[in-house]
């Protein structure tokens, strides 16, 4: 397998950011107050403890997700450094990846880079959206994710029902995800470059399943 170049271009916007922006945008039409006004109100009149503040906001008419986001912005709950904005997320994403592959984990960065390039090569609709502890690959949904461990990378794959798969090589490991109704149902351990070639057909299959 040819050596890949470093993944080019920016990381893609995580779908959760767009969802949160929609939730926030609906606060003023629903309640008559902006997010900033709710933050000021809960600071002035609400409790100081995180859960109590969220409960107080719900009692004032906010939905559970809205209340949690307002409480987060009021400083009562821990939140993302990027404050759930598209610009903030895209600025924070490189640091998430750098953090995962720093120190002794830096040895796995070339393998991770290669996985990103392989994923992007599957189609123009692939999105790579780093989180703090892993990097998911999206098409319509998450179809794969890469998570570093001390001695390997785990490539998690959304491959559905285990009864429909046959893997004579024994490389696919059942995560138990199908029984728990998780999207990721299998994983492949990536330790060496040769493991990427063995994993590629399964990565392609996961991508194709997500297009149906």
Q: Tell me: the pLDDT tens digits for 108-159?
A: 999 999 999 999 999 999 999 999 999 999 999 999 999 999 999 999 999 9
Domain of 185 in residue numbering reads as: 101-209
- What's the confidence (pLDDT) of residue 3? 46
Q: Are residue 124 and residue 179 in the same domain, yes or no?
A: yes
In a domain, 161, yes or no: yes
Note the pLDDT tens digit of each residue in 65-101: 999 989 988 886 666 666 678 888 999 999 999 999 9
Residue 200 lies in a domain: yes
Q: Which residues pair with 149 in a beta bridge?
A: 152
Give yes or no: residues 106 and 205 share one domain.
yes
Specify if 91 maps to a domain: no
Pair 183, 106 in one domain? yes
Q: Tokens 């893997």 appear where?
A: 167
C-alpha to C-alpha distance for 16 and 93, rounded to whole angstroms: 13
**Strand partners for 177:** none
Q: Are residues 105 and 205 in the same domain?
A: yes
User: Do 203 and 105 share a domain, yes or no?
Assistant: yes
pLDDT category of residue 7 using cuts at 50, 70 and 90: low
201 and 105 part of one domain: yes
Would residue 133 count as lying in a domain? Answer: yes
CA atoms within 13 A on the CB side of 12: 18
Query: Are 135 and 185 members of one domain?
Result: yes
Same domain? 111 vs 200 = yes
Q: Is 94 part of any domain?
A: no
One domain for residues 66 and 106: no
Give a yes or no: residue 83 inside a domain. no
How many domains would you assign to the chain?
A: 2
For residues 158 and 138, the answer to whether their CB atoms sit within 8 Å is: no
Shared-domain flag, residues 113 and 165? yes
Domain assignment of residue 93, yes or no: no
Q: Does the reported pTM lie above 0.75?
A: yes
How far apart are alpha carbons 153 and 126 in whole angstroms? 20
* Residues 153, 203 share a domain: yes
User: Looking at the structure, do residues 114 and 189 belong to the same domain, yes or no?
Assistant: yes
């Amino acid at each position: 397998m040819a050596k890949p170049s470093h993944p080019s271009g920016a990381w893609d916007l995580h779908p959760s950011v767009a969802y949160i922006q929609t939730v926030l945008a609906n606060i003023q039409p629903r309640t008559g107050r902006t997010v900033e006004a709710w933050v000021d109100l809960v600071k002035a009149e609400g409790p100081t403890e995180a859960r109590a503040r969220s409960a107080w906001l719900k009692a004032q008419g906010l939905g559970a997700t809205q209340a949690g986001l307002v409480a987060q912005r009021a400083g009562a709950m821990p939140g993302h450094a990027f404050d759930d904005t598209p610009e903030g997320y895209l600025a924070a994403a490189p640091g998430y990846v750098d953090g995962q592959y720093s120190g002794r984990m830096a040895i796995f960065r070339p393998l991770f880079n290669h996985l990103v390039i392989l994923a992007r090569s599957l189609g123009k609709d692939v999105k790579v959206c780093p989180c703090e502890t892993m990097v998911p690959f999206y098409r319509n949904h998450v179809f794969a994710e890469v998570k570093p461990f001390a001695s390997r990378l785990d490539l998690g794959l959304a491959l559905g029902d285990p009864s429909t798969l046959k893997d004579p090589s024994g490389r696919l490991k059942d995560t138990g995800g199908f029984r728990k109704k998780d999207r990721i149902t299998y994983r492949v351990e990536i330790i060496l470059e040769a493991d990427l070639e063995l994993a590629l057909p399964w990565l392609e299959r996961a991508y194709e399943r997500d297009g149906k």
